[in-house]
Amino acid sequence: MNIQIEDLTKMYGTKAALNGVTVTFEENKFYGLLGKNGAGKTTLMHTIAGHILPSSGHLTIDGKHPFNNRDILKEICLINESSNFKKRLKVKDVLKIASLFYPNWSEETAESLLQKFHLERNLSTKGLSKGMESALGIIIGLASRTKITIFDEPYIGLDASARYLFYDVLLEEFQQHPRTIILSTHLIDEVSRLFEEVIALKDGEVMMQETAEQVIENSLQVSGKEEAVNRFVKGKRVIDEKTIMGMKTAELYGEGLSLEEAKSSGLEAERMTLQNVIVKLTEEEEEKVYA
Ligand SMILES: Nc1ncnc2c1ncn2[C@@H]1O[C@H](COP(=O)(O)OP(=O)(O)OP(=O)(O)O)[C@@H](O)[C@H]1O
Protein backbone atom coordinates (compact mmCIF):
# COMPACT_ATOMS: atom_id res chain seq x y z
CA MET A 1 0.00 0.00 0.00
CA ASN A 2 1.38 3.39 -1.00
CA ILE A 3 0.70 6.42 1.12
CA GLN A 4 0.49 9.64 -0.88
CA ILE A 5 0.46 12.91 1.00
CA GLU A 6 0.19 16.21 -0.79
CA ASP A 7 0.32 19.70 0.70
CA LEU A 8 -1.18 18.44 3.95
CA THR A 9 -1.89 20.95 6.69
CA LYS A 10 -3.35 20.36 10.13
CA MET A 11 -4.24 23.42 12.19
CA TYR A 12 -4.89 23.44 15.93
CA GLY A 13 -6.34 26.92 16.38
CA THR A 14 -3.74 29.18 14.83
CA LYS A 15 -0.92 26.61 15.26
CA ALA A 16 0.01 24.52 12.22
CA ALA A 17 1.02 21.08 13.54
CA LEU A 18 1.60 20.11 9.89
CA ASN A 19 2.28 22.74 7.29
CA GLY A 20 2.19 21.82 3.61
CA VAL A 21 3.58 18.30 4.00
CA THR A 22 4.18 16.49 0.71
CA VAL A 23 5.65 13.04 1.04
CA THR A 24 5.20 9.50 -0.26
CA PHE A 25 5.62 6.29 1.72
CA GLU A 26 6.22 3.34 -0.59
CA GLU A 27 4.99 -0.19 -0.08
CA ASN A 28 7.15 -2.53 2.02
CA LYS A 29 9.75 0.04 3.02
CA PHE A 30 11.07 0.75 6.50
CA TYR A 31 10.84 4.45 7.38
CA GLY A 32 12.28 6.40 10.28
CA LEU A 33 10.07 9.40 11.06
CA LEU A 34 12.27 11.83 12.95
CA GLY A 35 12.24 15.33 14.39
CA LYS A 36 12.28 17.28 17.64
CA ASN A 37 9.43 17.32 20.16
CA GLY A 38 6.47 19.10 18.62
CA ALA A 39 7.74 18.72 15.03
CA GLY A 40 4.45 17.09 13.95
CA LYS A 41 5.36 13.38 13.85
CA THR A 42 2.45 12.13 15.97
CA THR A 43 -0.01 14.33 14.07
CA LEU A 44 1.23 12.92 10.76
CA MET A 45 1.02 9.31 11.97
CA HIS A 46 -2.51 9.78 13.33
CA THR A 47 -3.57 11.40 10.07
CA ILE A 48 -2.23 8.42 8.10
CA ALA A 49 -4.06 6.08 10.49
CA GLY A 50 -7.33 7.93 9.81
CA HIS A 51 -7.71 9.22 13.39
CA ILE A 52 -7.35 12.88 12.43
CA LEU A 53 -8.87 14.76 9.51
CA PRO A 54 -6.45 17.18 7.87
CA SER A 55 -7.40 20.87 7.68
CA SER A 56 -6.39 20.94 4.00
CA GLY A 57 -4.44 18.94 1.45
CA HIS A 58 -4.69 15.31 0.36
CA LEU A 59 -3.82 12.02 1.97
CA THR A 60 -4.64 8.80 0.18
CA ILE A 61 -3.68 5.19 0.70
CA ASP A 62 -3.71 3.28 -2.57
CA GLY A 63 -5.84 6.14 -3.88
CA LYS A 64 -8.42 5.98 -1.06
CA HIS A 65 -9.03 8.23 1.95
CA PRO A 66 -8.37 6.44 5.26
CA PHE A 67 -10.77 8.45 7.46
CA ASN A 68 -13.76 6.26 8.44
CA ASN A 69 -12.77 3.71 5.80
CA ARG A 70 -12.85 0.25 7.41
CA ASP A 71 -11.28 -1.44 4.35
CA ILE A 72 -8.20 0.74 4.69
CA LEU A 73 -8.12 0.96 8.49
CA LYS A 74 -7.96 -2.81 8.98
CA GLU A 75 -4.64 -2.66 7.11
CA ILE A 76 -3.15 0.03 9.37
CA CYS A 77 -1.97 -0.58 12.91
CA LEU A 78 -0.71 2.39 14.94
CA ILE A 79 0.99 1.72 18.25
CA ASN A 80 1.38 4.73 20.53
CA GLU A 81 3.95 5.46 23.20
CA SER A 82 1.24 4.93 25.84
CA SER A 83 -1.36 2.60 24.44
CA ASN A 84 -3.62 2.92 27.53
CA PHE A 85 -5.23 -0.49 27.35
CA LYS A 86 -8.66 -0.79 28.96
CA LYS A 87 -7.99 -1.49 32.60
CA ARG A 88 -10.46 -4.30 33.21
CA LEU A 89 -9.10 -6.70 30.62
CA LYS A 90 -6.48 -9.39 30.63
CA VAL A 91 -3.59 -9.52 28.19
CA LYS A 92 -5.28 -12.42 26.37
CA ASP A 93 -8.51 -10.36 25.97
CA VAL A 94 -6.61 -7.43 24.46
CA LEU A 95 -4.94 -9.81 22.01
CA LYS A 96 -8.29 -11.43 21.18
CA ILE A 97 -9.87 -8.06 20.38
CA ALA A 98 -6.90 -7.12 18.18
CA SER A 99 -7.05 -10.49 16.40
CA LEU A 100 -10.71 -9.85 15.51
CA PHE A 101 -9.93 -6.44 14.05
CA TYR A 102 -6.91 -7.30 11.90
CA PRO A 103 -7.63 -9.89 9.19
CA ASN A 104 -4.00 -11.03 8.82
CA TRP A 105 -3.43 -11.42 12.58
CA SER A 106 -0.74 -14.00 13.38
CA GLU A 107 -1.42 -15.92 16.57
CA GLU A 108 1.93 -17.62 16.13
CA THR A 109 3.78 -14.28 16.18
CA ALA A 110 1.77 -13.14 19.20
CA GLU A 111 2.60 -16.33 21.10
CA SER A 112 6.28 -16.22 20.24
CA LEU A 113 6.56 -12.56 21.27
CA LEU A 114 4.67 -13.10 24.53
CA GLN A 115 7.35 -15.61 25.42
CA LYS A 116 10.22 -13.41 24.27
CA PHE A 117 8.94 -10.44 26.31
CA HIS A 118 7.97 -12.70 29.26
CA LEU A 119 4.38 -11.49 29.25
CA GLU A 120 1.70 -13.73 30.76
CA ARG A 121 -1.61 -14.04 28.90
CA ASN A 122 -3.55 -14.10 32.18
CA LEU A 123 -2.14 -10.87 33.57
CA SER A 124 -4.61 -8.06 34.09
CA THR A 125 -3.68 -4.98 32.08
CA LYS A 126 -4.26 -2.99 35.30
CA GLY A 127 -1.13 -4.56 36.75
CA LEU A 128 1.14 -3.98 33.78
CA SER A 129 4.27 -1.90 34.26
CA LYS A 130 5.05 0.80 31.67
CA GLY A 131 7.54 -1.56 30.02
CA MET A 132 5.01 -4.42 29.93
CA GLU A 133 2.42 -2.09 28.35
CA SER A 134 4.96 -1.15 25.70
CA ALA A 135 5.73 -4.84 25.11
CA LEU A 136 2.02 -5.58 24.66
CA GLY A 137 1.74 -2.72 22.15
CA ILE A 138 4.74 -4.04 20.23
CA ILE A 139 3.27 -7.56 20.17
CA ILE A 140 -0.01 -6.21 18.75
CA GLY A 141 1.83 -4.11 16.16
CA LEU A 142 3.87 -7.05 14.90
CA ALA A 143 1.20 -9.76 15.16
CA SER A 144 -1.31 -7.53 13.33
CA ARG A 145 0.64 -8.10 10.08
CA THR A 146 -1.05 -4.99 8.71
CA LYS A 147 0.27 -3.66 5.40
CA ILE A 148 1.10 -0.41 7.20
CA THR A 149 2.43 -0.72 10.74
CA ILE A 150 3.25 2.47 12.62
CA PHE A 151 5.15 2.71 15.90
CA ASP A 152 5.17 6.07 17.69
CA GLU A 153 7.98 5.86 20.27
CA PRO A 154 6.76 2.44 21.35
CA TYR A 155 9.54 1.70 23.85
CA ILE A 156 8.62 3.85 26.90
CA GLY A 157 9.62 1.95 30.03
CA LEU A 158 11.49 -0.78 28.15
CA ASP A 159 15.02 -1.32 29.42
CA ALA A 160 17.92 -1.44 26.96
CA SER A 161 17.85 -5.23 26.52
CA ALA A 162 14.09 -5.25 25.84
CA ARG A 163 14.53 -2.39 23.34
CA TYR A 164 17.21 -4.32 21.47
CA LEU A 165 14.92 -7.36 21.50
CA PHE A 166 12.23 -5.14 19.93
CA TYR A 167 14.62 -3.99 17.19
CA ASP A 168 15.65 -7.60 16.46
CA VAL A 169 12.09 -8.92 16.22
CA LEU A 170 11.06 -5.88 14.21
CA LEU A 171 13.77 -6.59 11.64
CA GLU A 172 12.98 -10.30 11.55
CA GLU A 173 9.23 -9.67 11.04
CA PHE A 174 9.93 -7.04 8.40
CA GLN A 175 12.18 -9.42 6.46
CA GLN A 176 9.86 -12.41 6.73
CA HIS A 177 6.60 -10.51 6.20
CA PRO A 178 7.38 -7.31 4.30
CA ARG A 179 5.11 -4.35 4.98
CA THR A 180 5.45 -0.61 5.31
CA ILE A 181 6.84 0.23 8.71
CA ILE A 182 6.97 3.77 10.06
CA LEU A 183 8.91 4.12 13.28
CA SER A 184 9.13 7.40 15.15
CA THR A 185 11.89 7.55 17.69
CA HIS A 186 14.28 9.86 19.50
CA LEU A 187 16.74 6.98 20.10
CA ILE A 188 17.89 7.20 16.49
CA ASP A 189 21.30 5.57 16.70
CA GLU A 190 19.90 2.48 18.44
CA VAL A 191 17.69 1.71 15.49
CA SER A 192 19.20 3.52 12.50
CA ARG A 193 20.47 0.27 10.93
CA LEU A 194 16.83 -0.66 10.28
CA PHE A 195 15.87 2.52 8.43
CA GLU A 196 15.80 2.34 4.66
CA GLU A 197 14.57 5.87 4.39
CA VAL A 198 14.49 8.77 6.78
CA ILE A 199 11.81 11.46 6.84
CA ALA A 200 12.59 14.33 9.17
CA LEU A 201 10.03 16.96 10.14
CA LYS A 202 10.82 20.41 11.43
CA ASP A 203 8.11 22.84 12.59
CA GLY A 204 5.43 20.83 10.78
CA GLU A 205 7.31 20.74 7.48
CA VAL A 206 9.33 18.00 5.75
CA MET A 207 12.96 18.95 6.28
CA MET A 208 14.42 15.86 4.66
CA GLN A 209 13.50 12.64 2.84
CA GLU A 210 16.62 10.61 2.10
CA THR A 211 17.97 7.13 2.41
CA ALA A 212 19.74 6.64 5.74
CA GLU A 213 23.03 5.91 3.93
CA GLN A 214 22.78 9.10 1.93
CA VAL A 215 22.26 11.19 5.07
CA ILE A 216 25.44 9.75 6.58
CA GLU A 217 27.31 10.11 3.29
CA ASN A 218 26.30 13.80 3.19
CA SER A 219 27.79 14.45 6.63
CA LEU A 220 31.33 15.18 7.70
CA GLN A 221 32.98 16.04 11.00
CA VAL A 222 36.41 17.60 10.70
CA SER A 223 38.83 18.71 13.40
CA GLY A 224 42.24 20.28 13.52
CA LYS A 225 43.92 23.66 13.80
CA GLU A 226 41.35 26.46 13.67
CA GLU A 227 42.83 28.10 10.54
CA ALA A 228 42.98 24.79 8.66
CA VAL A 229 39.38 23.96 9.56
CA ASN A 230 38.25 27.47 8.57
CA ARG A 231 39.97 27.07 5.20
CA PHE A 232 38.34 23.70 4.62
CA VAL A 233 34.77 24.72 5.55
CA LYS A 234 34.71 27.75 3.22
CA GLY A 235 31.61 27.54 0.99
CA LYS A 236 30.29 24.51 2.89
CA ARG A 237 27.23 24.22 5.11
CA VAL A 238 28.34 24.16 8.76
CA ILE A 239 25.74 22.66 11.09
CA ASP A 240 27.82 22.88 14.27
CA GLU A 241 31.24 24.09 15.34
CA LYS A 242 33.33 24.38 18.49
CA THR A 243 36.74 25.88 19.13
CA ILE A 244 38.85 25.15 22.19
CA MET A 245 42.33 26.60 22.57
CA GLY A 246 42.97 27.04 18.86
CA MET A 247 41.62 23.60 17.91
CA LYS A 248 38.36 23.51 16.04
CA THR A 249 35.75 20.86 15.26
CA ALA A 250 33.18 21.55 12.59
CA GLU A 251 30.26 19.44 11.43
CA LEU A 252 29.20 19.82 7.83
CA TYR A 253 26.26 18.70 5.74
CA GLY A 254 25.92 18.64 1.97
CA GLU A 255 26.58 16.64 -1.16
CA GLY A 256 30.09 15.60 -2.15
CA LEU A 257 31.81 16.09 1.22
CA SER A 258 34.96 14.01 0.87
CA LEU A 259 36.74 12.28 3.75
CA GLU A 260 39.90 12.04 1.63
CA GLU A 261 39.90 15.72 0.80
CA ALA A 262 39.59 16.61 4.50
CA LYS A 263 42.34 14.19 5.47
CA SER A 264 44.66 15.45 2.75
CA SER A 265 44.10 18.96 4.18
CA GLY A 266 45.67 17.67 7.40
CA LEU A 267 42.38 17.32 9.27
CA GLU A 268 40.90 14.45 11.20
CA ALA A 269 37.69 13.50 9.48
CA GLU A 270 34.83 11.07 9.92
CA ARG A 271 31.17 10.68 9.02
CA MET A 272 28.62 11.69 11.65
CA THR A 273 26.02 9.37 13.18
CA LEU A 274 22.46 9.62 11.86
CA GLN A 275 21.26 10.86 15.26
CA ASN A 276 23.88 13.59 15.39
CA VAL A 277 23.03 14.78 11.86
CA ILE A 278 19.28 14.87 12.54
CA VAL A 279 19.69 16.62 15.91
CA LYS A 280 21.99 19.27 14.44
CA LEU A 281 19.86 19.86 11.34
CA THR A 282 16.61 20.12 13.29
CA GLU A 283 18.23 22.55 15.75
CA GLU A 284 19.81 24.71 13.08
CA GLU A 285 18.27 28.21 13.22
CA GLU A 286 19.21 29.04 9.64
CA GLU A 287 21.68 27.59 7.17
CA LYS A 288 25.19 28.84 7.73
CA VAL A 289 27.54 28.76 4.74
CA TYR A 290 30.95 30.37 5.20
CA ALA A 291 32.07 32.66 2.40
N1 LIG B 1 -4.75 18.01 20.09
C2 LIG B 1 -3.96 19.06 19.98
N3 LIG B 1 -4.37 20.30 20.31
C4 LIG B 1 -3.58 21.38 20.17
N5 LIG B 1 -2.29 21.33 19.72
C6 LIG B 1 -1.81 20.12 19.39
C7 LIG B 1 -2.61 18.93 19.49
N8 LIG B 1 -1.85 17.88 19.06
C9 LIG B 1 -0.65 18.39 18.73
N10 LIG B 1 -0.63 19.73 18.92
C11 LIG B 1 0.51 20.62 18.63
O12 LIG B 1 0.96 20.33 17.33
C13 LIG B 1 2.39 20.34 17.28
C14 LIG B 1 2.89 19.00 16.77
O15 LIG B 1 2.64 18.02 17.77
P16 LIG B 1 2.98 16.48 17.59
O17 LIG B 1 2.50 15.75 18.80
O18 LIG B 1 2.48 16.03 16.27
O19 LIG B 1 4.59 16.52 17.56
P20 LIG B 1 5.65 15.32 17.70
O21 LIG B 1 6.67 15.57 16.65
O22 LIG B 1 4.95 14.02 17.69
O23 LIG B 1 6.28 15.57 19.14
P24 LIG B 1 6.88 14.52 20.23
O25 LIG B 1 8.22 14.08 19.70
O26 LIG B 1 6.99 15.36 21.45
O27 LIG B 1 5.90 13.39 20.37
C28 LIG B 1 2.86 20.71 18.68
O29 LIG B 1 3.10 22.10 18.72
C30 LIG B 1 1.69 20.34 19.54
O31 LIG B 1 1.64 21.17 20.69
Q: 273: closest CA among 220, 229, 199, 237? A: 220
CA distance 165 to 81: 17
- pLDDT, one tens digit per residue, over 199-221 is 999 999 999 999 999 999 999 99
| Sign of the torsion formed by the C-alpha atoms of 177, 180, 184 and 190 | positive
Q: Check if 187 has its Cβ closer than 6 Å to any atom of ligand 1.
A: no
Q: What is the pLDDT of residue 66?
A: 87
Q: Does ipTM exceed 0.95?
A: yes
Supply the pTM of this predicted model. 0.93
Which backbone phi and psi does 14 adopt, to 5 degrees? -95, 0
Q: Check if 42 has its Cβ closer than 6 Å to any atom of ligand 1.
A: yes
Tens of pLDDT along the chain (291 residues)? 899 999 999 999 999 999 999 999 999 999 999 999 999 999 999 999 999 999 999 999 999 988 888 899 999 999 987 666 767 889 999 999 999 999 999 999 999 999 999 999 999 988 888 899 999 999 999 999 999 999 999 988 899 999 999 999 999 999 999 999 999 999 999 999 999 999 999 999 999 999 999 999 999 999 999 999 999 999 999 999 999 999 999 999 999 999 999 999 999 999 999 999 999 999 877 666 666
Please, what are the domains in the chain? Answer: 3-203 (3.40.50.300), 214-283 (3.30.70)
With helix as H, strand as E and coil as C, how does the chain read?
Answer: CCEEEEEEEEEECCEEEEEEEEEEECCCCEEEEECCCCCCHHHHHHHHCCCCCCCEEEEEECCECCCCCHHHHCCEEEECCCCCCCCCCEHHHHHHHHHHHCCCCCHHHHHHHHHHCCCCCCCEHHHCCHHHHHHHHHHHHHHCCCCEEEEECCCCCCCHHHHHHHHHHHHHHHHHCCCEEEEECCCHHHHHHHCCEEEEEECCEEEEEEEHHHHHHCEEEEEEEHHHHHHHHCCCEEEEEEEECCEEEEEEECCCCCHHHHHHCCCEEECCCHHHHHHHHHHCCCCCECC
147 in Cβ contact with 1 (< 8 Å): yes
25 in Cβ contact with 182 (< 8 Å): yes
Nearest alpha carbon, ligand 1 atom 17: 42
CA of 53 to the centre of ligand 1 (A): 15
- Beta-carbon count within 10 A of 233 CB: 22
All residues at 6 or more sequence positions from 171 whose CB lies less than 8 Å from its CB, including other chains: 194
Q: Check if 43 has its Cβ closer than 6 Å to any atom of ligand 1.
A: yes
CA of 157 to the centre of ligand 1 (A): 21
Residue 37's alpha-carbon distances to 14, 197, 201, 203, 279, in angstroms, are 19, 20, 10, 9, 11
**Averaged pLDDT of the chain:** 93
Q: Check if 150 has its Cβ closer than 6 Å to any atom of ligand 1.
A: no
